[in-house]
Amino acid sequence: MTMAGYDRSRLRKVRLYGVLLALLGVMMLPFYTMFSSTLKPENEIFSAPATLVPSDPTIQAYLDVWTQTDVLLWIANSFVISLGTVALTLALAIPAAYSCARNDFVGKRTFLLSVLVVQMFAPVVLIVGLFDVITQFGLFNTYLAVIIPAAAFTLPFNVWMLYGYFKTIPVALEESARIDGASQFQILTKIVLPLTKPALVASITYTFLYAWNRLLFVLTFLTDSAKYNVPRGVFSMVGALQTDWRMMLTVSVIGIVPLLILFAFLEEYIVAGMTAGAVKE
């Protein structure tokens, strides 16, 4: 490589990382604002104009938040709702996806396309009809009032994701197990599902996040504040006249910690899930 060529490629690298870091800075700025505000003492948060760096950092807000808000309760509720949604969605999606991947039957195409259309039917345009249905079935103010709609709207992704993955598992594997005397249930749980692990992890992560993050269903179907999830809890802190920004931002930071842990470990699966939903190979 010539000297000039070397310089040019180095310049290009510097420029590339420069742009990347700048983009990262823009995307991370809201997190920085949130986090740095929670480290400011009360009088500094409410000083104008805002200080860019806390002058006298303190973790007092993190000590106050446990006694002044219901953050632990909200996190626990979020877990109940998310895990419930994951369980219900998988219980429905696995058999359906497996059936479509292994059999050819009249109505399969219609079924799969109808499922895809459900994904298009965003919950908010259905919310008035759903409200009527949830009330009719006496589910109002129960966890199920949130879990059931969340499962319905995560099902399409799960069915399609697992359907695509099941198709890649060779039938020969199942046939040889059948010859060895395995039952259909054993084949599914002992052979097919372990091989489907990447798709299952992606499904579970997607469904978990969906249920964890949604405000709409909880806002509409749960009025009992003891059942609020994290987003609803944060929303409940937005006051009409006065908002306790210090506590609200601290709850927000704590509320996203479980998600950050999830992201650190499952980044690959989340990406796999996001791409599988939209782009064909």
Partner 1 sequence: MSLAEEYTDTTDASRLERGLAYFQRNSRAYLLIAPTALFLLAVVGYPILETFRLSLYQSPADSNIETFVGLQHYAEIVTSDIFYQLLWQTGRWVVVGVAGKTVMGLLIAVHLKGDIRGRKFFRTAFLIPWGIPYAISAVVFRWIEHPQFGFLNAILLKLGLIEQGIGILGNPDIAWLGVVVADIWIGTPFMAIIFLAGLQSIPQELYEAAAIDGAERWHQFCYITLPQLKSVILIATLLSTIWTFVSFDTIWTMTGGGPLSTTATLVIHIYQVGLQNGNLGRGAAYSVVGFLFLFVFAIIYLRVYTRGGDEL
Residues 233-272 that bind partner 1 (CB under 8 A): 234-235, 237-238, 245, 248-249, 252, 255-256, 259-260, 262-264, 267, 270-271
The one among 80, 83, 87, 127 contacting partner 1 by CB under 8 A? 127
CB of 238 to partner 1, least distance (A): 7
Judged by CB under 8 A, the residue of 1, 106, 172, 226 near partner 1 is: 106
Q: Smallest gap, in angstroms, from Cβ of residue 49 to partner 1?
A: 4
- For partner 1, the binding residue among 59, 124, 171, 173 (CB under 8 A) is 124
CB of 75 to partner 1, least distance (A): 12
Q: Cβ 173 to partner 1, closest distance in Å?
A: 19
**CA–CA–CA angle 190, 192, 196 (5° rounding):** 115
Nearest CA to 258 among 196, 199, 202, 211? 211
Q: Report if residue 115 touches partner 1, rule: CB under 8 A.
A: yes
- Piece of the chain touching partner 1 by CB under 8 A; list 1-9, 64-72, 89-97, 171-179: 89-97
Around 278, how many Cα atoms within 13 Å sit in the side-chain half-sphere? 5
Task: Please give the Cα distance from 218 to 84 (Å, whole number).
Answer: 14
- Give me the least distance between CB of 133 and partner 1, in Å please: 5
Alpha-carbon distance 136 to 115, whole Å?
Answer: 24
- Least separation, in Å, of the C-beta of 95 and partner 1? 4
Q: Which stretch binds partner 1 (CB under 8 A): 3-11, 19-27, 54-62, 190-198?
A: 19-27
The footprint of partner 1 on residues 196-225 (CB under 8 A) is: 209, 212-216, 219-220
170 vs 185, beta carbon nearer partner 1? 185
* Residue of 3, 4, 113, 179 that binds partner 1 (CB under 8 A): 113
Q: Which of residues 41-70 bind partner 1 (CB under 8 A)?
A: 45-52
Name which of residues 161 to 200 contact partner 1 (CB under 8 A). none
The one segment of 65-73, 79-87, 151-159, 191-199 that binds partner 1 by CB under 8 A: 151-159
